[in-house]
Structure 1
Amino acid sequence: MVNPPNPTAEEHDPDALDLAEVAEIIPDDDEEDHPMESDDDGDDGMGDEDVEMTVSNDSSAYFDGHSSSIFSISAHPSNPSLFLTGGGDDVAYIWTSAAANATDAAVTPRECRMIRKLEAHKDSVSATAFTAPNGEFAVTGGLDGQLQLFSAAAAWKRVDSAQEVEEIVWIASHPTEPLIAVGTNEGSVWLYDVDNNALNIRHVLYSHTASCTAGTFTKSGALLCTVSEDGSFYAWDTNSGQSVVALTAQDQRFAIEGGLYSVAVSPSGAVAAVGGASGEIRVVGLPVDAAAAVAGGKRTAARPQAGGGGSTGGGQAGQIIAAISTHSESVESLSFHPSVPLLASGSVDGKIGLYDAARGYAVRKMLEGHVDSVVKVEFVAGLGPQDGWMLTSCGIDGTLRRWDARAGVEVACLKGHLGGNGSEGEGGILGFVQTKERIITAGDDAVSLVFEVEGSAATATTAGASR
């Protein structure tokens, strides 16, 4: 059944929706102000000193349009002030961190403004993305199995949708083309071209036999790397849909108990790192030339050969380059440095690992500071030599941290979110996006915070926020 069209409140002139002038966009009429409040057990005793809780807030701005956990956040590829969030309230929002005027800019923390409320799902919005190269479309995926497409030229109204699966786990956007990859709970991976306001299936990849937990494109976009709860890893040629590397838990050298939950690809595209439930990491070689690798093989997208090396490429393609066992619990996130041979990992054990890729992925440092599960780690791209080693992390403890990976020390701890109950799998920060100047979070407390930073130092004014 096709959902009814996205509700329209006020018609906008498409010419007025220049993303460079997003501050001039008028939000829907039904937009409401949502104060940064968090009720305890339904108690609405606003101002009651017995229930009021004061927490440190280092953010410069916030968006609190969601009424439930924010599961996904995406940054617009060309407008640094535009963001897309999806949550457990079954809706997504496009919103801007740009100040409306000078008076608004002087307020700290100030409330960010909604551009469009995207109401098309019947369950939690689990994944979001903007399309490359200019962010002309926003894509949302939900636990209802629906994939929704919204167009900037149509005032961010829905222009197409698809429902082929039970649940959507993640969405990844191709780095240079309007192409998206979608991972699902039953293991299939779908590639959609976005053209003429429509979602067009390019390939459907069926090799995983359990939930496809994570996926990422190589920097060139030639390959898509995916992992699954069944412990398998595949690298797919995005043009042909053929597998060029296939490894499964049948190969005892590759097997990680409990399955795989994270994947990252080096900037050169030479290797991929995967992390699993037992805290182990494997580093796998990728084809130097994906097109040549596919041309030399006989595999099909449906069931490529698995186990062993599983590669049709040359050199180290398909080879297990390193096996790392530094964490005691699941590796939730992996990140390669954009220019230095360095890999970082974040784990449920609360630790962050740094590994020297130039020396066989030897442990360089184990960073400790989070007091609960680390959800995401990511190196900061685009910094100069002075701050070029910056690593950002977030966790269930509700903190956002910056680290100097060269010295192995924490340089900033940014607060504002409510810490969670890690043993129950709830609370804290569930993700973030970042630029050189700012970090924007997705909170389990239904709030997205904007932290202004400059290299390693936070420039936002610390303020007490009653919530």
Structure 2
Amino acid sequence: MNGPNRSLHDEEEDDQGEVFLDDSDIIDEVAVDEEDLPDADDDDDDDTDDSMHIFTGHTGELYTVSCSPTDPLLVATGGGDDKGFLWKIGLGDWASELKGHKDSVSCLSFSSDGQLLASGGFDGLVQIWDASSGNHKCVLEGPDEGIEWVRWHPKGHLVLAGSEDKSVWMWNADKGAYLNSFTGHEASVTCGDFTPDGKTICTGSDDASLRIWNPKSGENIHVVRGHPYHTDGLTCLALSSDSTLAITGSKDNSVHIVNITSGRFNTLATYHVHGSSPWAATGGLDQKLIIWDLQHSLPRATCEHQDGVTCVAWLAASRYVATGCVDGKVRLWDSLSGDCIRKFSGHADAIQSLSLSANQDYLVSGSSDGTARTVEAVNPKAYPLADAQLTITILDLVQQAANYKQLKKGANEATKTLNRGISEFVVMAADTEPLEILLHLPLLAEDKNVPYVFVSSKQALGRACGVTRPVIACSVTTNEGSQLKTQIQQLKDAIEKLLI
């Protein structure tokens, strides 16, 4: 049988087979420095964009991003183009421009009920907006120079702002009325906030001091300054959820913990306090994220970056921390292991601000490149999650443990076994709603050096536990004479591999 007709192109390709050169064919030699050659191990992802939504309404660099605490899609941004915007994730180009500032919009903050938005500008003004419509409500005046930060009282519509003119101001946003001012700092007030209980104000300044105030009387309760406290201006502060501690960071590269009640401080060797655990995260231009154990003032994990860290955010009550960096990347870190588990690319310049959406599904970053970018599924709360085959093995062993009286059902009972040191491993259901009610278990298990794992179904976990109702967590307990000892050890080894 004859083959198909060959084309001229085919014949030309045949002629372009192997080519042999000898020394006479060499025209010239060019020296190449090895450093100029690409590294085979380089991960060049400059062209990658992991964003699921990009907001491009600004014409200058972005300074600040704030997500609504009640609407998971609503975001506010402000920047060097003297503009603020309200926009929604996933809704295309829809945006409400916030007109009124005559200089850069330096800071933004939503009220705790999500009804109002405050914007601060380098024009010295604080503007109040209706968060749902973007309509202007009022202008709050007082400071003579630019606004550095703005915060809301946790239980009402009182607004607090710090200024470059060394002062701090408080207003009633509903009435547009001045309430109090706090003076005493000797340089720009660079950071500040109400404590979570609303009873105290903490402010930090370029004068290297922290001041603690009574918001009602305006009394300066404590001044924290002088050696061995910071020797240079404060850049940021964060407050613990129980309103007892302030953590301050400075240009001198040091971090201190201050007891708000006494004014005393300790030294830790951009900052954000974990909502429920005694941990803090610090990031700096030294390219490091450090997770701190506040109870012992010791580092728990150090996470190395390729460039300086500009902003840090805990992902709600989880074990994960997000960092924004000079290289334009957002990175997600496991605070227990110190591992980088996700990296998000897309920005062409340094990230200036990070904010987490109300439902914790989205992380929004603002950059010097003039854009705000949103990435999704940033919070792998149910981690590690067993695959289908491992789930079968886990549920089978849980069922056997129930038969041998080596099982405790429920999150409270699992917690007790961990605290008593009798847990072999802990199993949790990934479809628990809200999952936050379980997230203390991985932290406690890690502290006790006990393996833990998630399975996909609380109903299936309930059946394995021998009940007809869903079970959100269980703990297989220790029994030295158990016939399950070998199986338990094998499964523990398999679970621990997921955590490496």
Tell me the TM-score normalized by structure 2.
0.64
Answering whether residue 134 of structure 2 is matched by residue 156 of structure 1, we say yes
1:11-60 per-position Cα deviation (integer Å, ceiling 9, x unaligned): xxxxxxxxxxxxxxxxxxxxxxxxxxxxxxxxxxxxxxxxxx96210011
Among 247, 266, 274, the alignment partner of 2:248 is 274
Aligned to 1:324: 268
Among 203, 206, 216, the alignment partner of 2:183 is 206
Among 70, 73, 96, the alignment partner of 2:65 is 73
Q: Which amino acid aligns with 1:259?
A: G
Aligned to 1:441: 365
Alignment of 1:309-320 (within 5 A): 317-320=262-265
Identity percentage over the alignment?
A: 27
Q: Which runs of 4+ in 1 moved over 6 A?
A: none
SS at match of 2:176: strand
1:51-70 per-position Cα deviation (integer Å, ceiling 9, x unaligned): xx962100111111001011
Aligned to 2:344: 414
Q: Which runs of 5+ in 1 are unaligned?
A: 1-52, 100-110, 288-316, 326-332, 383-387, 420-427, 458-467
Answering whether residue 340 of structure 2 is matched by residue 340 of structure 1, we say no
Alignment of 1:261-300 (within 5 A): 261-287=235-261
Answering whether residue 326 of structure 2 is matched by residue 396 of structure 1, we say yes
Distance between the aligned counterparts of 1:121 and 1:161, measured in 2? 10
Q: Which amino acid aligns with 2:330?
A: L
Q: Which amino acid aligns with 2:195?
A: T
Q: Which amino acid aligns with 2:258?
A: V
Q: Indicate if the aligned counterparts of 1:402 and 1:456 stay in contact, CA closer than 8 A.
A: no
Distance between the aligned counterparts of 2:376 and 2:283, measured in 1? 23
Distance between the aligned counterparts of 2:353 and 2:106, measured in 1? 12
Larger relative contact order, structure 1 or 2 (CA cutoff 8 Å, min sep 6)? 1
Q: Indicate if the aligned counterparts of 1:190 and 1:204 stay in contact, CA closer than 8 A.
A: yes
Tell me the matched-pair count. Answer: 335
Distance between the aligned counterparts of 1:439 and 1:147, measured in 2? 26
Aligned to 2:434: none
Q: Which runs of 5+ in 2 are unaligned?
A: 1-44, 382-500
Q: Indicate if the aligned counterparts of 2:271 and 2:281 stay in contact, CA closer than 8 A.
A: yes
Q: Indicate if the aligned counterparts of 2:312 and 2:354 stay in contact, CA closer than 8 A.
A: no
How far is 1:268 from its partner?
1.2
Distance between the aligned counterparts of 2:341 and 2:172, measured in 1? 42
Answering whether residue 304 of structure 2 is matched by residue 368 of structure 1, we say yes
How far is 1:163 from its partner?
3.2
Aligned to 1:253: 228
Q: Indicate if the aligned counterparts of 2:75 and 2:88 stay in contact, CA closer than 8 A.
A: yes
Q: Which structure features the higher share of strand residues? A: 1
Change in 2 beyond 3 A, CA 1:412/1:136: same
Aligned to 2:6: none
Q: Which amino acid aligns with 1:62?
A: I
How far is 1:179 from its partner?
1.3
Among 104, 121, 124, the alignment partner of 2:101 is 121
How far is 1:449 from its partner?
0.5
SS at match of 2:337: coil
How far is 1:454 from its partner?
4.7
Q: Indicate if the aligned counterparts of 1:91 and 1:124 stay in contact, CA closer than 8 A.
A: yes
Aligned to 1:7: none
SS at match of 1:170: strand
SS at match of 1:56: coil
Distance between the aligned counterparts of 2:110 and 2:291, measured in 1? 30
Among 117, 120, 127, the alignment partner of 1:141 is 120
Aligned to 2:352: 430
Aligned to 2:145: 166
Change in 2 beyond 3 A, CA 1:357/1:54: closer
How far is 1:240 from its partner?
2.7
Between Structure 1 and Structure 2, whose CA radius of gyration is higher? 2
Q: Indicate if the aligned counterparts of 1:63 and 1:113 stay in contact, CA closer than 8 A.
A: no
1:338-384 per-position Cα deviation (integer Å, ceiling 9, x unaligned): 1221111011111111211122x112222102x222111121114xx
Change in 2 beyond 3 A, CA 1:455/1:366: same
Q: Indicate if the aligned counterparts of 1:411 and 1:456 stay in contact, CA closer than 8 A.
A: no
Q: Which amino acid aligns with 1:221?
A: G
How far is 1:152 from its partner?
4.6
SS at match of 2:277: coil
